[in-house]
Chain A
Amino acid sequence: MSSSTGHPEFPGIVEAAREGDLTPYGQPGAYIAGNTPPTGTLTVEDEEFTESGERLMTLNMGPQHPSTHGVMRILLKLDGETVVQCDPMIGYLHRGTEKLSEGKRYAQIVPWTDRLDYTAAPLNNIGYVLAVEKLCGLEAPERAQYWRVIMAELARIAAHLVWLGTHALDIGALSMSLYCFREREMIQDIFETFCGARLTTNMMEIGGFSRPIPDGLVEQVRNFVKIFPPRQQEYADLLSANPIWLARTKGVGVISPEAAISYSLTGACLRGSGINYDVRKAEPYLVYDRLDFEVPLGEFGDVFDRYIVRMEEMRQAVKMIAQCIDFVDGNDTPLMAYESPYVIPPHKGVMTTAEDMQRHFIWVIKGFNPPVGEVWQSIEHSKGELGYYIVSDGGSMPYRMRVRTPDYVNLGVLPHMAQGAMLADMVALVGTIDIVLGSVDR
């Protein structure tokens, strides 16, 4: 193996292995059948020639390209208009969330999670809060869980609307983004009524909700549930039978089921290839095991199937919101697990009793100390499986917090999809993975 020699320029870095190096480890067919090996390093100075003697062209797509949905650079190697190799360069928005979390108390980290995927901040909050609750061994009351599901599904619709608008905009349907952002405004108004913020909501708390649900919120959500399905039908009418849309999406960016599993895809990218894995069904968290909903699956694993899957997910989300809002309407059960020593004491007690005031002071100043251990909690994000891995050493700050963001892992399939694709399809391929660079770069 070439690993013993090391890289000539960077001692300490193992030289990139050739394809033959992988076989000494035994198993025949080291790469799973049907997959191509991951791409190697691409540099701008590379000069390669095709069989006919034409030089391959190296092209930078980004980092300011509008269809990269943020700051991402894709290094392309082109043979005419065909992509031969592609190498995504990420990290322009890296803020070190994991390192910063090691210096923050558990309750202080919730606002940081908003900034991961800023199109669906409540979902990020829920994943983190559930992980801390699992670590502490507490559970939020039933009514709070229903409200969490409502906010999660609203956030899922909001994230899918951003995806649909920008994805269609990239491919060429300009008017789509205008309609999508119209409905997204309604969801953001609901968030504003609920917690006061529209984008970075910071709405989930460890143990439930410490503030009462505002008046009129149920009517606002009911209004949205009534208005949204016909509006979504309009989008489907605009796109689903549109010949331009079909020509740009059908048969483009096909991922086989084997490749989808091998590349660790989750979410619509995995289900678009026909593999039935949804965290809400497989390992139900919150109250998803009591709700009636279906998981849509694709058939061919192309861009169009993933579009169909996400559209159906929005319909199922509306269905779930309607079920949850019936439960919470007129329900007056507690919202916060105040019996647990890990949650913030009730406001009324803080104002009236000395014990609660002292506990509140300690909770705010020093935080709380969960037991020693490590937990993994994953939820179904709008983009896939969002996982939080928290290692606790018994202190008031996590010893290590790992965020497994879905689109970081999903983006790894782009070199596989782009191989042999046309240059004009690259925007469709980037759009179909549904990336948000705040979540990719963390």
Chain B
Amino acid sequence: MSDGDTLQHDDSNLASQAGVETIDYDALGWGRELWFDDDLNKHPVVRELGKHFPDDMLDVIRFRNETTIHVTPAKLRDIAFYLRDHEQIALNLLTDMTAVDMLTMRTTPRFDVCVMLYSIPNRVRLRLKAGVDDGEHVPSLVPVWNGANWMERECYDMFGIIFDGHPNLRRILLADDWDEGHPLRKDYPIRGWKEFPIYNTERTVHRARSRWTGRGV
């Protein structure tokens, strides 16, 4: 036995004695239980994005058995294409697309564009989040899913987020000539910016005065 062989043998022994298990993440496979594993590195999407989009995966969060992956907005469409067309991951259904105004929860970036994906063959969900500032553009997901058309129009309507490459980006729920901004922003007052007259403030029938106190009841 040469010295080199002995050293290698000792190294592996030491590692096993210290209780450190080396996991071969590539050999884990694609089982559904991996999507809910406590070790987030075993998550199939985290593994695949770590390989192909290492600089664009910013954060991975698990809460109540739901996985959220923060990605850079510029690569949102590429990642969506990749996850849709991946044979094993197959996140093929765009469940929802919306945004959250994080104005009072953090400083920057201001908005989170949330994309809820579902995989019909795997029966799993995933949430992608892309943080964008006010005025920053996001690539539209309409080339990936036609269903993103109305969801992005609603995002633009409610938050003013602009999606590049959207075929028809205009207001959908509010009127086309709505000039008061975007109502789901946190700095938008709940009654709007305009002053509307308040009716029925004067009493037409006066309140009966109490006999005992002399005040209204």
Contacts and interface: CB of A to CB of B under 8 A. Distances in A.
A8 interface: no
Q: Among the interface residues B95, B104, B114, B163, which one has the most CB atoms of the partner chain A within 10 A? A: B95
B37 interface: no
A339 B64 CA distance: 20
A39 B142 CA distance: 12
A98 B184 contact: yes
Interface stretch (A9-17, A146-154, A178-186): A9-17
A385 interface: yes
A389 B98 contact: yes
A91 B175 contact: yes
A63 interface: no
Nearest to A262: B146
Interface string B30-59: 000000000000000000000000000000
A1 interface: yes
B154 to A, nearest CB: 8
B64 A16 contact: no
Nearest to A442: B173
B125 A376 contact: yes
A137 B66 CA distance: 13
A239 interface: no
Nearest to B98: A402
Contact of B146 (A135, A412, A442): A412
Contact of B137 (A3, A35, A373): A3
B173 A94 contact: yes
Contacts of A37: 167
Interface in B173-217: 173-175, 183-184, 188, 190
A250 interface: no
Contacts, number: 151
B205 to A, nearest CB: 30
B81 A41 contact: no
Given A96-B183, A263-B146, A91 B174 contact: yes
Interface in B59-99: 63-64, 66, 68, 77-78, 81, 92-96, 98
Given A17-B165, A376-B116, A378-B95, A35 B146 contact: yes
Interface in A357-371: none
A275 B170 CA distance: 32
Nearest to A95: B173
B183 A409 contact: no
B116 A375 contact: no
A326 interface: no
Given A261-B93, A400-B101, A374 B68 contact: yes
Interface in B116-156: 116, 120, 123, 125, 127, 137, 139, 142-143, 145-151
B153 to A, nearest CB: 9
Contact of B165 (A1, A90, A134, A409): A1
Considering residues B93, B146, B149, B173, which has the most beta carbons from chain A within 10 angstroms of its beta carbon? Answer: B146
B146 A387 contact: no
A265 B163 CA distance: 22
Contacts of B101: 400
A12 B182 CA distance: 13
B146 A32 contact: yes
Nearest to B122: A282
B105 interface: yes
A51 to B, nearest CB: 24
A259 B149 CA distance: 14
B162 A12 contact: yes
Given A137-B64, A391-B100, A400-B100, A14 B166 contact: yes
A22 interface: yes
Contacts of A385: 95
Contacts of A276: 120
Given A3-B164, A22-B143, A262-B147, A283 B123 contact: yes
Contacts of A135: 64
A400 B96 CA distance: 15
Nearest to A411: B150
B78 A26 contact: yes
A228 interface: no
Nearest to B151: A409
A98 B182 CA distance: 13
A17 B167 contact: yes
Contact of A387 (B66, B116, B137, B147): B116
Given A17-B166, A91-B172, A399-B105, A261 B92 contact: yes
A237 B190 CA distance: 52
A412 B147 contact: yes
Contacts of A375: 63-64, 66
Contacts of A356: none
A134 B63 CA distance: 10
B147 A389 contact: no
B164 A41 contact: no
A27 B165 contact: no
Contacts of B114: 389
Given A25-B143, A99-B190, A374-B68, A39 B168 contact: yes
Interface string A70-105: 000000000000000000001100101011101100
8 contacts: A14-B169, A26-B81, A39-B168, A137-B64, A264-B145, A264-B147, A374-B68, A409-B151
Question: What 3 pairs between A and B have smallest CB-CB spacing?
Answer: A264-B147, A30-B143, A91-B173
Given A404-B116, A412-B147, 11 more contacts: A1-B164, A1-B165, A13-B169, A26-B78, A27-B143, A38-B142, A91-B172, A91-B174, A375-B66, A400-B100, A409-B147
